Every structure is written in C-alpha cells, then in structure tokens.
Amino acid sequence: MKFLGFHRIVASLVMAFALVFGSQTAIAQDAAEAIATEQLESVDPAEAADVADPGAVTEGSGAYTPMKPTEGIGMPVDAGLDIQPQFSETGEFAYGLHIGLIWVMVAISLFVLVLMLYTIFRFRRSANPTPSKTSHNTLIEVIWTVVPALILLAIAIPSITLIAKQYEPIPKDAITIKATGYQWYWGYTYPDNGEFEIISNMLDDAEAEARGEPHQLAVDNRMVVPVGVPIRMQITAADVIHSFAVPSLWFKLDAVPGRLNEKILMVEKPGVYYGQCSELCGARHAYMPIAVEALPLEQYNQWVLAQGGTIAGAEETGDLDAELAPLQEPESTVEGAAGAGEFPVENPTT
Ligand SMILES: [Cu+2]
C-alpha cells in the first residue's frame, strides 16, 4: 500500500511537468502559425503578378524554385517532446484534443495527489489513533462511479469526432495525387494534371546542407500540392508495404501493393512539410523521406505546367495556357541519389 501511494505521487508530479510542457508547446504552435502566415503574405503578391501574365506560366521549370523550409516547421526539432505544430484542420483539432486531454489528466492527477496528502496527514497514527471501521458509503460509491463515467463520456465525444473527421468523404472537386511507395523512394503521380509522375529520392547530407534543408528528410523532387484545396491522396505501393506519413499534416496511411488507400488531405498554409516512410520496408526504409511543398493554387498550377502537366479545367476557362513544357529533370546532382530509383524517361502525356 505504501508503495502504491508513492507511485501515485510520482505520477502526479509527472503530470504537472506535462502541464508545463503542454502550455509551452501551445505557445510554439501560435508562433509557428504566425511564421506561416508571414510566409504566405510574403510569397503571394510577387507570384500573383506572374500568374496574371500567361506567357510566364509556360516558360518551364524556371517558374518554380523549391521553397526554403522554416526551421522547426513541418520537421522534427532537437529534444522535441510534443506533437509537431499542425497545418491541417484535422491536425489542429487533434492537437487541441491532445492538449485538452493533458489538462484532464493534470486535473485528475492533482485531485488524487491532494486526496492522498490529506489522508496521509489527517489520518496518520498520532492524529487518529483509533481508525474508523467504515466499510460502505453508498453516496461516495455512486459519485466515484458516475463522475469518472461522465468524464469518459465527455472525452469520447471529441475523440469520436476526430475519428469521423479522419474518414471524411472526399469532395468531388478534389485534386487527386497518387503516392506510390517503391523500395526505396516515392513516386507522385498527378492524374488530374496530365498523369505525370515525380520521382522523389533522398538527398545526401552534404546536398541537403547546401540547400538549407534537414538531413535525411530533404529530397530532390518534392510532392507539390495546392494550399486550401481538398486533395484526394491515393496511397499505394509497387513492391512491399510502405506507409506515407507526414506528422505536421496529421497524415499517415499504409501503402499496400495492389490496394489503393484513399484519404483527404487539405493543407492550410504554404510551407514545406517533411515525413518518412513509416512501415518497415527493407534495408533502406529509413532513407525514403517525404517532402510535401504546399503552394497557393496559382503557383501550384505553374509548377504543374513546368513538369509538363496540364491544368484541370484550363480549356473551359481559358485562364491558363495548358501547353506542355519539358519534363522536370532530376534535381539531385548525385547520380541516382540515395534510394536509387529509376527516373521516368518520358512524359506519358506527350
Ligand atoms: Cu518504405
């Protein structure tokens, strides 16, 4: 009994620390959002001017330069304890639930701690020489059964809401992007934009450093996506089971050969978000990172044209000249960089 009490006190102290870290990361989240908003504002006007001029759109790969990642955003940090700051609606909801649950745990732990301390001091042998022989108290028993049940019920509501959000049906106007896991690199196909495929290999440390990107997360060709537009992410694999996971976008879905897994992705802010294959898939499992670059729709369309793709609905609106540009060359200077996948030899749409 003595040891049981001790463990509870330790657990309560741990909860108190969790509270401190919890509030710190909430501040970090705010800071992250401020930075991302700044980035959006600084990116927009210049690029918007380019889009207004249709000639600029068809100039090819020159229209796109990989965005510089923001330190600590969309990537892990040294000695990080908490979930990464979130940049999707579901992720923000989940993050809120996570912080809310920490507060619930802190409140319960502190309550138990206070009860323990009170009991230890109030009913110690010298203060209470003849202990009570009470063995039943119906009121207290009802309370300590009903109150925890109500707490669990209250937690179940946002918890089930989160599950439902993660399985939300994908709207019809979503842009489809198919991610295929290969041993050991990723391929991204854009069926709504002319079916071109981007092959994404990890950069070596020196090259990542030169580009100002985190080691073992930076890739030669990123998966570029539009911001604020629902994306139908289709995840599959060509050889063994992989898993497409990007923590800051609250996205993880297994990539299974012969199966097309689908999930909605909606990125709220422009930025670079890193992830990794999260299913043990062989010798170079640790070296097939994921880099998602989210751009405003106009810039996304520019990038698509630069890859030799087409803009969905361009014919109807006449807004954008959907003329094909050359396929993007592999950007890595290293021949068949880490993971060493094949680069596509020709554009399937030409
Ligand atoms: Cu893998």
Domains of the chain: 2-52+64-125+139-166 (no CATH), 175-317 (2.60.40.420)
Contacts (Cβ under 8 Å, ≥6 apart) of 206? none
DSSP structure string for 100-128? HHHHHHHHHHHHHHHHHHHHHHHTSTTT-
Residue 92 has pLDDT above 70, yes or no: yes
- CA 281 – ligand 1 centroid, Å: 5
- CA 331 – ligand 1 centroid, Å: 22
- CA 277 – ligand 1 centroid, Å: 5
**What's the whole-number mean pLDDT along residues 216-229?**
94
- Which DSSP symbol is given to 164? H
- CA 302 – ligand 1 centroid, Å: 30
- pLDDT at position 58, please? 43
User: d(Cα 238, Cα 185) in Å, to the nearest integer?
Assistant: 11
Greater confidence, 315 or 305?
305
Paired sense of beta strands 185-190 and 196-200, if any: antiparallel
- CA 79 – ligand 1 centroid, Å: 25
- CA 193 – ligand 1 centroid, Å: 26
Helix/strand/coil for 54: helix
- CA 291 – ligand 1 centroid, Å: 14
**pLDDT band of 10, cuts 50, 70, 90:** low
Query: Tell me: the pLDDT tens digits for 23-68?
Result: 444 444 555 555 544 444 444 444 433 433 433 444 444 568 888 8
User: d(Cα 230, Cα 264) in Å, to the nearest integer?
Assistant: 7
- pLDDT at position 349, please? 52
- CA 338 – ligand 1 centroid, Å: 13
**What's the whole-number mean pLDDT along residues 137-147?**
95
- pLDDT at position 65, please? 86
- Which DSSP symbol is given to 202? B
- CA 188 – ligand 1 centroid, Å: 14
Residue 330 has pLDDT above 70, yes or no: no
- CA 282 – ligand 1 centroid, Å: 7
- pLDDT at position 54, please? 39
- 67: which 2 tokens? 């965005």
- CA 82 – ligand 1 centroid, Å: 24
**pLDDT band of 347, cuts 50, 70, 90:** low
- CA 244 – ligand 1 centroid, Å: 8
- pLDDT at position 103, please? 96
**What's the whole-number mean pLDDT along residues 240-260?**
96
- CA 319 – ligand 1 centroid, Å: 39
Residue 207 has pLDDT above 80, yes or no: yes
Q: State the residue for tokens 């959000």.
A: 165
Residue 255 has pLDDT above 80, yes or no: yes
- CA 179 – ligand 1 centroid, Å: 12
Q: Which region holds residue 63: left if phi is over 0, alpha if psi is between -120 and 50, else beta?
A: alpha
- CA 284 – ligand 1 centroid, Å: 8
- CA 288 – ligand 1 centroid, Å: 6
Query: Tell me: the pLDDT tens digits for 286-300?
Result: 999 999 999 999 999
Average pLDDT, the chain: 80
- CA 300 – ligand 1 centroid, Å: 27
pTM: 0.69
Distance from the first to the final alpha carbon of the chain: 76
- 101: which 2 tokens? 């649950």
Q: Which region holds residue 37: left if phi is over 0, alpha if psi is between -120 and 50, else beta?
A: alpha
- CA 275 – ligand 1 centroid, Å: 12
CA 259, distance to chain mean position in Å, is 22
- CA 145 – ligand 1 centroid, Å: 46
Contacts (Cβ under 8 Å, ≥6 apart) of 197? 187, 188, 189, 190, 344, 348
- pLDDT at position 316, please? 43
Residue 318 has pLDDT above 60, yes or no: no
